[in-house]
Amino acid sequence: MLPVILAASLLAPAAAGASEPNRIVARGDGIIRSPVRQIAGSGPNLRARQNEVEVQNQRFGTRYGVEIEIGTPPQKITLILDTGSPNTWINPVCETANLPSDCAQFAQFNYEKSSTLNVTDYVDTLRYGIGNATVQYVSETVTIGSATIENQIIGIALESHKIPLGILGVSPPILGVNEYPYILDTMVDQGLIKSRAFSVDLRGVDNPTGAIIFGGVDTGKFIGKLAKLPIIPQDETPSGADRYYVTMTGVGLTLPDGSIVQSEELAVPVFLDTGATLSHLPTRIFEALAASFPDALYDADSGFYILPCDYTDMAGSIDFYFAGKTIRVPLNEFVWQNGAYCILGVSPEDQEPILGDTFLRAAYVVYDQDNRNLHIAQAANCGTNLVAIGSGANAVPSSTGQCTELPTPTGKGNTLDVTATRPPVGTFTGRLPTGMEGGPGPAQSGPGGTSVTGGALQPTGGSGSGENAAERGIEVGLGAVVLGVVNLLAWVL
C-alpha cells in the first residue's frame, strides 16, 4: 500500500494545466486510439489460453479494461474504462478487493520509480455502486495510445474497498462542476484532441478487443447512420446527476423467426455506463423482458433471472429503441454467462436506469461532452476507417457506418406490455458458481473529501447531494447485485 505521501503542494502544475492551454503545442492527428479489452473475472492464466475454454470464458467478460502508461519511464497499468465516473485513479488495495487474487494479477504503479510524479496533499474518497477508494491526487505523465498527456491529475489509492482495478473515468463531472481538469479536459488543453468527444466500441463476446477513440470515429465499426441523441440536462436527470443520460423510447425483442415484439412508446431516461456489467432497467421492463423467457428462473439471492444457456446459440435479440435508432442486442451478448449458468443481463432499477455492458456490446457510441450529444448506431466490424472529430457544434461528423445492414425483422407481432406486474414463474434452487467480478458501477455524487483551500483542486460535491443521493447511490448500479452474488459464492480464487 502507498504510504501517505506528504508533499509540497501540487497546486501549481494543476493551475498551469488549466489556465495555459497553449503551453503545449498541438501534435499528432487529433485522434487517439487505444484497445479496450474484456477482462475475465478469473485467474491469471486465463488470458494466455488460445482455445475453446478462452472463448467460452469471454462471456464472463464482466469488465472492460484499457492499458495505459503512467510515469517516466512509463509503467503499463490496466484500468477499467468507465463512462459512469469522471475521476481517474490507480493502485487499488488488493487485500480489500472483492477477489484479492483477481486484483493481484494486474501490475501496480510504483511511484518511487517515476521522475515526473508530483504529489498534492489533496485526499478524497470516491464512491461507486460497488465500493469506494480513498485516493491522494498526484500529477503525472499519462500515455494513452499514441498520446502523452503531461501533468495529468490522477488519484493513487491509499485505501480502497471491493474494487480490484483502477478506473479511467470519462464521464462529465457528476455534479456539473469540474473538481480539476479530468483526462478529457487535459487532452483538449494540450492539443491532443479538438473537442471533448470520444467513441467506444466494446465489441462482442467472441471478439473481445474493441477500442476507445478519443477525438475520432471509426466508420468501419458500425451499421447505418449515427443517430444524434441529446444528453439529458443535469437538472432533468432522475437524481440530478450529470451523466450520459439519453431517452429510451421503447424496448422489445426480435424472436428467432424474425418477428418483433415491441413495447408502447416510452420515455425512460437511461445512462450509458461502460463500468456497469449489466443493464439496470425499471422493474416493469425488467419483469416483461424476463417473462419473455418462459423457462427463466428467478434467483432471490442475487435478484437475477437464470436462463438455459441454449439461448446463447439462438437467433433473436433484445431491442432498445431511441429516437431514430434501434439497437438490437443479440441474445448471446445480453446473457451473462457464468460457468454452467446463464444470467439474463438485466436487473431492476427504478431510480437511475442504466444501459451497461450487456447493451453496449451491441452499440457503437460517440460521447460528445462539448455539444452534449450521444451518437449511436448498431455496432459491427468491417474494417477500420478513422474520421476525426473537430470542434464546434458539428464536431462529430454525421458519418454512415460501412458495415452491412442487419436483416430487417419480418414484421410486428405482439405488444410487449411493460406496465403489468409479473411475479416470477419459476424459482432457481441451485447455487451460482464463483469467479465473477463486475465493474465498479456508477460514481456517486456524494460529499467530497478533504479540501485544500484556495487551490486548483476543489472538493467535489457537498452541496446538493446530501444523504439521500448518497444512500440511493448505494442501491443503484452494480453494488447490491454483485455483492449479493459474491457473498453467496464465497471467495474461492
Ligand X SMILES: *[C@@H]1O[C@H](CO)[C@@H](O)[C@H](O)[C@H]1NC(C)=O
Nearer to ligand X, 119 or 362 (CB): 119
Cβ-based nearer residue to ligand X, 30 or 446: 446
Closest approach, Cβ 8 to ligand X, in A, equals 8
What is each CA distance from 211 to 220, 227, 319, 361, 365, in whole angstroms?
A: 12, 20, 23, 12, 11
Work out how close the CB of 127 gets to ligand X at its nearest, in angstroms, rounded to a whole number: 6
Alpha helix segments (H runs only) across 6-152: 11-19, 52-57, 100-104
Report the nearest approach of ligand X to the CB of residue 115 (Å): 6
Check if the beta carbon of residue 236 is closer than 8 Å to that of residue 66: no
Chain residues binding ligand X by CB under 6 A are: 12-13, 116, 118, 125, 131-132, 161
Smaller CB separation from ligand X, 84 or 353: 84
What is the DSSP annotation of 29-51? TS-EEEEEEEE-SS-TTGGG--S
- Which residue has 486510439 as its cell numbers? 33
* Closer by beta carbon to ligand X, 161 or else 280: 161
User: Sign of dihedral through CA atoms 450, 451, 457, 462?
Assistant: positive
CB 192 within 8 A of CB 147: yes
Helix, strand, or coil (residue 294) = coil
Q: How far is the CB of 132 from ligand X (least distance, A)?
A: 4
Measure the CA–CA gap between 423 and 421, rounded to whole angstroms: 7
Of 116 and 391, which CB lies nearer to ligand X in the complex structure?
A: 116
Q: Of 116 and 402, which has the nearer Cβ to ligand X?
A: 116
Q: Closest separation between CB of residue 126 and ligand X, Å? A: 9
Write down the least CB distance from residue 280 to ligand X, Å: 20
In 315-434, which ranges are continuous DSSP H helix? 331-334, 357-360
List the grid coordinates of 433: 458458481
* Closer CB to ligand X, 132 or 234, in the complex: 132
What is the distance between the alpha carbons of residues 166 and 419, in angstroms, rounded to a whole number?
Answer: 39
Shortest CB 37 distance to ligand X, Å: 27
131 or 173, CB closer to ligand X? 131
Q: Can you list the alpha helix ranges (DSSP code H) found in 147-229?
A: 183-189
Nearest distance from residue 161's CB to ligand X, in Å?
Answer: 4
C-alpha cell, 3:
504510504
Distance CA 457, CA 453 (A): 8
* CA distance linking residue 229 with residue 324, whole number of Å: 9
Task: Judge whether 377 and 225 are in contact, CB under 8 Å.
Answer: yes
d(CA 32, CA 211): 10
- The three three-digit cell numbers of residue 65, written as one number: 479494461
In DSSP notation, 416-479 reads: E--SS----SEE--S---S-------PBP--------TTSS------TTTHHHHHHHHHHSTTH
Instruction: List 138's β-bridge partners, or say none.
Output: 119, 154
Q: Give the nearest distance from C-beta 116 to ligand X in angstroms.
A: 5
Identify which of 107, 103, 105, 79 has the alpha carbon closest to the alpha carbon of residue 93.
103
Cell numbers that stand for 63 in this block? 469488465
Q: Please say which residue, 12 or 55, places its beta carbon nearer to ligand X.
A: 12
Q: Which is nearer to ligand X, 83 or 132 (CB)?
A: 132
Nearest to 346 by CA among 331, 334, 338, 333: 334
Residue nearer to ligand X on the CB measure, 131 or 345: 131
In whole angstroms, what is the distance from residue 156 CA to residue 88 CA? 9
Name the residue nearer to ligand X (CB basis): 131 or 215. 131
CB of 141 to ligand X, least distance (A): 8
Q: How many other C-beta atoms lie within 10 A of the C-beta of residue 466? A: 13
Q: Cβ of residue 461: shortest distance to ligand X, in angstroms?
A: 13
Shortest distance in whole angstroms from residue 440 CB to ligand X: 12
Neighbours of 206 (CB within 10 A): 11
